[in-house]
């Protein structure tokens, strides 16, 4: 009877082992336990456990039976069932982590595209590209290691180095290394995503709100009119966004570039254009109009000259200007081809001024 109780414990162990593996596989993303072939594999193992139980009951039907051969037969059946459970675990884990690795490779490609579509300080962009190249190399080594160890032998280690071919258990020995290496790459890619979020910028998006519009113009004008304020943000992402023409300085040339960028929306990426400009798309046509701006200081007063370099004739024009805090508009005047127009100017609250002619 003592031997019979031991065999009953063995059968319970088989059931527990299968349940543990199936519970793990149920949480997998790329291996599906309910797919026909996979479900059939699990059902086959369950049937073999049933055969073990049936054989056990037959061998121990007579309490006097103590046949050594019967004990050996039961042990053989149990070993085969455990081998099938282990094989299921290894095969399913390999399928799952092949999918995980392929997803990581795909995520890296998307990050490369994201880096290429954003603007960064040169040093930051170089660091991001270096990191993503390391990720590419390491993921390639992980993929090779995953495929190599699936056969039960290893000839290349997780870092891509050749080693003497030796037996290896995929789940117990290889998989922990694969998981640790993948976690390292995921951490690297998470850092890249964070850097894209915090260190990228759009030239002209001085307010860092994701769009380029007249509010950025007002902010930039403040820095142009008061260089000390521009110096206060030197070296920051905001400073690089304000350096619209990328010449290493913040001056009236950046105002000119920003004005043309706001007007000539068709040359910009959709994500860089203010929503209200995008809504006006159907009502506008692409022209060669541009704006040129210059600034000079006379007796402590800064004079800004705005030249409309229009190709198409127009009969009227309106400009809305929001003055930075502490700036006072002393007056406006027309010149050049507009000197025969009548100038109208309205002062609004919050420092906003409308000039039309």
CB 316 within 8 A of CB 357: yes
Question: 318 phi and psi, to 5 degrees?
Answer: -135, 140
- CA 79/CA 84 separation, integer angstroms: 9
CA distance 174 to 81: 23
| pLDDT band at residue 65 using 50, 70 and 90 as cut-offs | very low
Interstrand relation of 153-156 and 301-309 (parallel, antiparallel or unpaired)? unpaired
Which of 20-29, 190-199, 298-307 shows the lowest per-residue confidence on average (mean pLDDT)? 298-307
183 vs 312, which has greater pLDDT?
A: 183
Verdict on whether the full-model pTM lies above 0.75: no
Q: What is the pLDDT of residue 276?
A: 36
Q: How far apart are CA 314 and CA 346, in angstroms?
A: 21
Average pLDDT over residues 23-40: 92
Q: For the chain, report the end-to-end CA distance as a whole number of angstroms.
A: 109
DSSP 159: T
Scanning 150-284, the segments in alpha helix (DSSP H) are: 175-199, 214-225, 227-232, 237-242, 252-263, 275-279
Share of the chain above pLDDT 90, in %: 47
Per-residue pLDDT, 34: 86
**Tokens describing residue 112:** 């490369």
Backbone angles phi, psi at 352, to 5 degrees: -90, 140
b/e per residue, 192-221, with b = 16+ CB within 10 A? beebbeebbbbbbbbbeeebbbbebbbbbb
* pLDDT score, position 74: 74
Containing 10, the helix (H) or strand (E) segment is helix 2-26
Question: Average pLDDT, stretch 42-53?
Answer: 86
- 75 and 93 Cβ atoms separated by less than 8 Å: no
- What is d(CA 44, CA 174) in angstroms, rounded to the nearest whole number? 27
Contacts of 4 (CB under 8 A, 6+ apart): 56, 60
Judged against a pLDDT cut of 80, whether residue 73 lies above it is answered with no
Worst-scoring range by mean pLDDT, 84-88, 116-120, 310-314? 310-314
Q: What CA–CA distances, in Å, run from 45 to 29, 54, 95, 334? A: 22, 14, 19, 90
Q: pLDDT for 215-261, tens place per residue?
A: 898 899 889 888 899 999 999 999 999 999 999 999 888 888 888 88
Percent composition of the chain: helix, strand, coil (DSSP 3-state, to 5): 60, 15, 30
The model's pLDDT over 253-289, given as tens digits with 9 standing for 90+, comes to 888 888 888 876 444 444 443 333 333 333 333 344 5
């Amino acid at each position: 009877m003592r031997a019979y109780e031991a065999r009953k414990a063995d059968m319970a162990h088989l059931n527990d082992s299968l349940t543990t593996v199936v519970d793990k596989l149920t949480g997998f993303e790329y291996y599906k336990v309910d797919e026909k072939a996979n479900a059939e594999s699990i059902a086959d193992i369950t049937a073999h456990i049933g055969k073990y139980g049936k054989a056990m009951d037959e061998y121990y039907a007579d309490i006097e039976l103590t046949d050594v051969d019967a004990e050996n037969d039961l042990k053989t059946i149990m070993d085969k069932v455990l081998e099938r459970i282990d094989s299921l675990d290894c095969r399913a884990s390999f399928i799952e982590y092949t999918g995980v690795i392929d997803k990581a490779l795909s995520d890296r490609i998307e990050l490369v595209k994201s880096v290429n579509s954003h603007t960064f300080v040169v040093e930051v962009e170089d660091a991001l590209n270096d990191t993503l190249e390391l990720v590419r190399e390491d993921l390639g080594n992980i993929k090779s290691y995953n495929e190599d160890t699936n056969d039960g032998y290893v000839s290349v280690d997780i870092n891509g180095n050749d080693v003497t071919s030796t037996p290896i258990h995929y789940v117990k020995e290889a998989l922990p290394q694969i998981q640790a290496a993948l976690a390292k790459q995921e951490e690297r890619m998470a850092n890249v995503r964070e850097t894209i979020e915090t260190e990228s910028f759009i030239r002209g998006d001085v307010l860092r709100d994701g769009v380029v519009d007249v509010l950025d113009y007002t902010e930039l004008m403040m820095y142009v009119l008061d260089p000390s304020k521009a110096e206060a943000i030197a070296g920051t992402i905001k400073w690089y966004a304000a350096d619209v023409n990328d010449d290493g300085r913040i001056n009236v040339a950046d105002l000119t570039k920003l004005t043309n960028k706001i007007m000539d929306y068709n040359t910009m990426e959709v994500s860089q254009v203010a929503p209200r400009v995008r809504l006006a798309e159907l009502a506008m046509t692409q022209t060669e109009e541009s704006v040129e701006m210059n600034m000079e200081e006379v007796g402590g007063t800064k004079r800004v000259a705005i030249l409309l370099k229009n190709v198409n004739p127009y009969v009227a024009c309106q400009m809305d200007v929001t003055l930075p805090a502490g700036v006072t508009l002393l007056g406006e005047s027309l010149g050049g081809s507009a000197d025969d127009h009548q100038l109208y100017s309205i002062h609004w609250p919050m420092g906003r001024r409308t000039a039309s002619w």
